[in-house]
Amino acid sequence: MAPKLKVAICGGGIGGLTLALVLDKYAGDSIKVDVYEAKSGFSEIGAGLSIWKRTWSIIKTLGLERSLGEMAVTFPDETPKLGFGFKKSDQAEQSENFYRMISPYGSITVHRADMLKILVDNLPKGFHAHFNKRLVAYTQPEREGSVTLRFADGTTAQADLLIGADGVNSTTREIMYTDFAESAMRAGNMDEAMRLKQHISASWTGTYAYRSLLNVEKFLEFAPGHQAATVPLFYLGKDRHIVSYPISRGKLINLIGFVSFPESEGQNLDGPSVVEVPKEDMINPFSAWEPEARTLMEGVEKSSRWAICHVRNLPKYVSGRVVLLGDSAHAMTTHIGAGAGQAIEDAYVLGRLLSDNLSNKSTLDSALRVYDSVRRPIGNFVVEHSRTIGLAYEFNYVPDAIRAAGVDMGSPKGFDLLSDFIYDTWSFHWKSMPEEDWLRAEQMLRSMLSEPTN
C-alpha cells in the first residue's frame, strides 16, 4: 500500500532520529521517512548529557530503556536520589555543598555518542538516510502539493512535509523566518518584519562554555577522594560557574566551565561558535576559586570553547508544510539540562500526531496546528526558565523570594531561598509527563476534526 505521507527530516541529530523512531513505532510503513543529514554520517560532538524523568518516560516508551540505562552511571530507577549538589565556590576558602537537589531517578547522565548510537542502532531496517545532504533552500506551494528541498550538492528532493531538525544554526528556521519577515514587509508592516527578522538566527547569550572530559582513574590519582568522581555538582560564582558529572558508567567526568559577559547577551558573535582552546583558557578563570573547584579544573588536559546561543520566544514553529523541531525551534542554554529532552518531547508529540489515523495529506494542517499549540508554549517556557536560572547561578538575578525577604543572596537565608528556587525551576522535569501533552494534543486533533476520542 502506498504510504499516506512522505516526510523529510532535515538533520539526523537527537531530535531528528528520535522522530524517525516514533514514526516507525506508531505509523510503521504508512509514513515514508527520509532523513537528510549534512555530515557524512550520524555523529555527535560534545560530551555528556543529563536527562530526567520526563525524557526517560519517552526513552522507555520507545523500548530504549535497557540499552541506554546500561550506558548510564547506574541503571536508572525511580527511587529519589541526588540530581545535583550545589556549592558557592568563588572564594579562596573551601565551602560545603549548600544544597542537595533530590529528584526521582536523580540525574541520568550519559555520553552523547552513546545516546546517538542507541538511536541509530534502533532505526528500522530499510530506513532511508541520505548523507552529505546539507539543506540550503526549500520552496512550498501556496496550497496543496509537495515541499521541494534543495541541497548544497545541487540535488533536490520532495516530500509532503519538511521537518527542520537541523539544530541551533537551523537553515530551515532561517528560510522560514526570512519568508515571514519578507511577507510582513510586502504587507507594509515594518515593525512586524523587524520583529520576525530577529528570529532568523540564534542569538549569543553572552556565555562561553569550556568543555572537557576527565578520565576518572587518572583524576583520582592526583585528587584522591574528590567528590566530582561520583557526585553530579554545580560550583557557583559571580559571572561564572562549573558543572561536573560522571558519565560512561562512571569512567569519565563531563566537565563544563561557564564564563559569562552578561552585558554581551544578544550581541553578534565574533568568530566561530566552537573552537579548540589551550587548557589554560578553561582553567584560569577559576584559579582564585576554592581548592575543590581548582583541583577539579587542574585535571583538564584538553578543552574546547562553545558559544552558548539560544532561540527565544519563536512566535510560530510551523509555516505551511514546514515545521521546526528541537534546537531549531528552541535552542536553549544548558543550565537545566533540558535541550535534548525538549527535542525528544517535540519528536514524541509530532510523531504521534502524524501517525494518528486521522492524519493524512488533507488533515496535515490540523496536526501541525496542534503541534504548534501544544509544544511551542512548553519549548519557549523552558528556554526562559533555563536562561533565568543561569543568571541566578552567577548571582546576576535575584529570585523574587529573596528580594521579598529582603535578605542578601549570599546569607544563610539567601542560600535557603536560592535552594528552593533551584528546586522549583528544575522540578518541571519530574512533576508532569509528556504523555499528558500527547493526550491533550490527541484531544485537540480529534475535536478539530470532530471525532470522539476512543
Ligand X SMILES: Cc1cc2nc3c(=O)[nH]c(=O)nc-3n(C[C@H](O)[C@H](O)[C@H](O)COP(=O)(O)OP(=O)(O)OC[C@H]3O[C@@H](n4cnc5c(N)ncnc54)[C@H](O)[C@@H]3O)c2cc1C
Residue ranges in contact with ligand X by CB under 6 A: 10-16, 36-39, 49-51, 133-135, 165-167, 171, 209, 211, 256, 306, 326-327, 334, 337-341, 343
Query: With respect to ligand X, which residue has the nearer C-beta, 235 or 415?
Result: 235
3-class secondary-structure state, position 4: coil
Nearer to ligand X, 35 or 402 (CB): 35
CB of 447 to ligand X, least distance (A): 30
Instruction: Indicate the residue among 208 and 219 with the shorter CB distance to ligand X.
Output: 208
Q: Which is nearer to ligand X, 106 or 414 (CB)?
A: 106
* CA 372 remoteness from chain centre: 17
**CA gap 380, 315 in Å, rounded:** 9
Dist. CA 331–CA 173, nearest whole Å:
11
Q: State the Cα–Cα distance between residues 427 and 263, nearest whole angstrom.
A: 29
Q: Give which of 175, 172, 145 is closest to 160, Cα–Cα.
A: 145
- Residue number with CB closer to ligand X (38 or 378): 38
Smallest distance, ligand X to C-beta of residue 70, A: 19
Helix (H) or strand (E) holding 51: strand 48-51
Complex with ligand X: residue 201 or 366, whichever CB lies closer = 201
Q: State the minimum distance, in angstroms, from the CB of residue 409 to ligand X.
A: 25
Helices (H), 107-189: 112-121, 171-186
State the residue number with the nearest CB to ligand X. Answer: 13
**CB of residue 85 vs ligand X: minimum separation in angstroms?**
16
* DSSP bridge pairs for 237: 240
Q: How far is residue 174's CA from residue 194's CA, in Å, rounded to a whole number?
A: 14
38 or 417: CB nearest ligand X? 38
Query: Least distance from C-beta 261 to ligand X, angstroms?
Result: 17
> Minimal distance in Å, beta carbon 232 to ligand X?
10
Asked if 280 and 303 touch (Cβ cutoff 8 Å), the reply is no
What are residue 9's DSSP bridge partners?
Answer: 35, 163
To ligand X, the closest distance from the beta carbon of 36 in angstroms equals: 5
Question: Is residue 168 a contact partner of residue 331, using CB atoms and an 8 Å limit?
Answer: yes
SS (H, E, C) 194-219: HHHHCCCCCEEEEEEEEEEEEEHHHH
Beta carbons within 10 angstroms of residue 403's beta carbon: 11
Closest contact distance (angstroms) between CB of 170 and ligand X is 7
Apex CA 124: angle with CA 379 and CA 338, to 5°? 20
- When the beta carbons of 118 and 256 are compared against ligand X, the nearer one is 256
- Using CA atoms in the order 172, 177, 178, 181, what is the torsion angle rounded to 10 degrees? 170
Q: Which is nearer to ligand X, 184 or 228 (CB)?
A: 228
> Minimum CB separation from ligand X for residue 234, in Å?
12
Which amino acid belongs to residue 316? Answer: K
